[in-house]
């Protein structure tokens, strides 16, 4: 069973920002929660990442890290655009997010600035790189072709990463109902059909099954057995069926991640599981040609940032696709969009600028 999506919020292990202030709420997208035993020090973060700012001697680096300030400065700008966009696009609930709406065009430049800052500290260390390489060798040998290249590279197979979260995430579907009213689409967790149909659409954009290149869908989940059972059962109508492969990094004896249970586990176990989790995120980021995920998860929004390019999320054939809501700024999980600071008059004034750009006029 994989440890992917093992954490609702990555907090004390790989936390890049603090939660000290209500106004500093941009840290939600890359938090690894492993309980209070792990302190926010360079030594602990060095267990996973090798970013320039993470020197072991910088015990209090989080409060001084200019990367955090840069990300916090960009986030309000993204919030403004996103709030106006949601105001313009009040819509009925739809079963699947139209692929062009992962992120609207006016966000692209700000998104890429934020992605640049994100990638300055997302630098996996030697242990993580070794896990990623070991899995990739196993993956290539198992499938007997040159798989696991970087997105956009020419190889004998196109690899699609499919992100399928189970465990305690199911409890959030009801709780997030209010948030889904803001973005217009409810979370799709626990609905394998939506994930597989989106993966099939992406495979067709790669000209499968007519292309000489094969398609391989790599499934990552916190409960691999249950995920494969649910996804495989959905393929009865697929002809040919999509080839599904398990992601073996991060095996665990616990079926489905539960954050409270995880926090009670011994420190060493949480450390190892978190390293496996980071390894899975890194493999998905760097060794796939496309990603199917749910942007209602903060880990998925972090993966989108880790792609580094807004063009992967927009256009006719985006390579990263969400099965439900659009990509949103990192403060979305805090519910900040339920009560925007803008008045109706201010929203109308800002909307005029968006409406001048025909790229923003998407048929919903």
Mean pLDDT score, 345-349 = 60
- State residue 342's pLDDT score: 54
22-26, 68-72, 213-217: the lowest-pLDDT one = 22-26
Residue 69: count of CB within 10 angstroms of its CB? 14
Mean pLDDT score, 332-347 = 48
Confidence of residue 163 (pLDDT cuts 50, 70, 90): confident
Q: C-alpha distances in angstroms, 175 versus 106, 181, 261, 334?
A: 30, 12, 20, 13
Strand partners, 218: 161, 245
* Percentage of the chain lying above the pLDDT 70 cut: 49
Task: Report the C-alpha gap between 130 and 133 in whole angstroms.
Answer: 5
- State residue 102's pLDDT score: 77
**Model pLDDT for residues 299-313, shown as the tens digit of each residue:** 788 888 888 888 888
Task: Report the C-alpha gap between 173 and 179 in whole angstroms.
Answer: 10
Higher-pLDDT residue of 340, 213: 213
* Cβ–Cβ under 8 Å, residues 347 and 84: yes
- Helices 66-88, 344-355: axis angle to 10 degrees equals 90
* Cβ–Cβ under 8 Å, residues 5 and 219: no
**Model pLDDT for residues 232-265, shown as the tens digit of each residue:** 888 878 888 898 888 766 555 556 677 778 888 8
- Highest mean pLDDT (candidates 55-69, 211-225, 341-355): 211-225
- Taking the model in full, what pTM does it have? 0.69
SS (H, E, C) the chain: CCCCCCCCCECCCCCCCCCCCCCCCCHHHCCECCCCCCCCCHHHHCCCECCCCCCCCCCCHHHHCHHHHHHHHHHHHHHHHHHHHHHHCCCCCCCCCCHHHCCCHHHHHHHHHHHHHHHHHCCECHHHHHHHHHHHHHHHHHHCCCCCCCCCCCCCEEEEEEECCCHHHHHHHHHCHHHHHHHCCCCCCCCHHHHHHHHHHHHHHCCCCCCCCEEEEEEECCCHHHHHHHHHHHHHHCCCCCCEEECCCCCCCCCCCCHHHHHCCCHHHHHHHHHHHHHHHHHHHHCCCEEEECCCCHHHHHHHHHHCCHHHCCCCCCCEEECCCCCCCCCHHHCHHHHCCCCHHHHHHHHHHHHCCHHHCCCC
Mean pLDDT score, 204-233 = 86
The two tokens of residue 32 are 């690894």
60-64, 118-122, 278-282: the lowest-pLDDT one = 60-64
Higher-pLDDT residue of 47, 330: 47
Higher-pLDDT residue of 118, 36: 118
């Amino acid at each position: 069973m994989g440890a992917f999506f093992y954490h609702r919020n990555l907090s004390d292990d790989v936390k890049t920002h603090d939660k000290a202030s209500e106004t500093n709420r941009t840290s939600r997208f890359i938090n690894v929660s492993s309980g209070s035993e792990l302190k926010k020090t360079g030594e602990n973060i060095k267990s996973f990442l090798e970013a320039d700012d993470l020197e072991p001697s910088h015990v209090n680096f989080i409060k001084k890290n200019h990367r955090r300030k840069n990300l916090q400065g960009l986030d309000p700008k993204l919030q403004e655009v996103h709030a106006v966009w949601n105001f313009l696009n009040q819509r009925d609930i739809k079963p699947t997010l139209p692929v062009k709406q992962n992120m609207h065009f006016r966000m692209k430049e700000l998104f890429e600035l934020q992605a640049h800052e994100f990638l300055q500290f997302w630098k996996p260390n030697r242990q993580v790189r070794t896990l990623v390489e070991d899995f990739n060798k196993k993956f290539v040998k198992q499938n007997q072709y040159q798989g696991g290249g970087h997105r956009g590279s020419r190889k004998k197979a196109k690899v699609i990463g499919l992100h399928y979260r189970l465990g305690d995430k199911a409890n959030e579907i009801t709780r997030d109902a209010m948030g889904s009213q803001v973005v217009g689409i409810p979370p799709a967790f626990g609905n394998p059909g939506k994930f597989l149909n989106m993966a099939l659409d992406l495979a067709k954009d790669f000209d499968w099954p007519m292309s000489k290149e094969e398609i391989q869908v790599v499934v990552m989940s916190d409960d691999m057995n249950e995920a494969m059972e649910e996804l495989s059962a959905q393929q009865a109508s697929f002809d040919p069926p999509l080839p599904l492969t398990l992601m073996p990094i991060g095996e665990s004896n616990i079926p489905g991640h539960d954050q409270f249970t995880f926090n009670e586990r011994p420190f060493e176990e949480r450390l190892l599981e978190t390293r496996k989790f980071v390894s899975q995120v890194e493999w998905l980021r760097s060794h796939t040609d496309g990603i199917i995920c749910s942007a209602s998860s903060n880990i998925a929004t972090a993966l989108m940032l880790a792609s580094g390019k807004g063009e992967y999320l927009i256009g006719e054939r985006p390579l990263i696709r969400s099965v439900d809501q659009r990509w949103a700024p990192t403060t979305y999980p805090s519910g900040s969009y339920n009560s925007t600071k803008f008045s109706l008059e201010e929203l109308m004034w800002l909307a005029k600028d968006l409406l001048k750009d025909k790229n923003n006029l998407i048929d919903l």
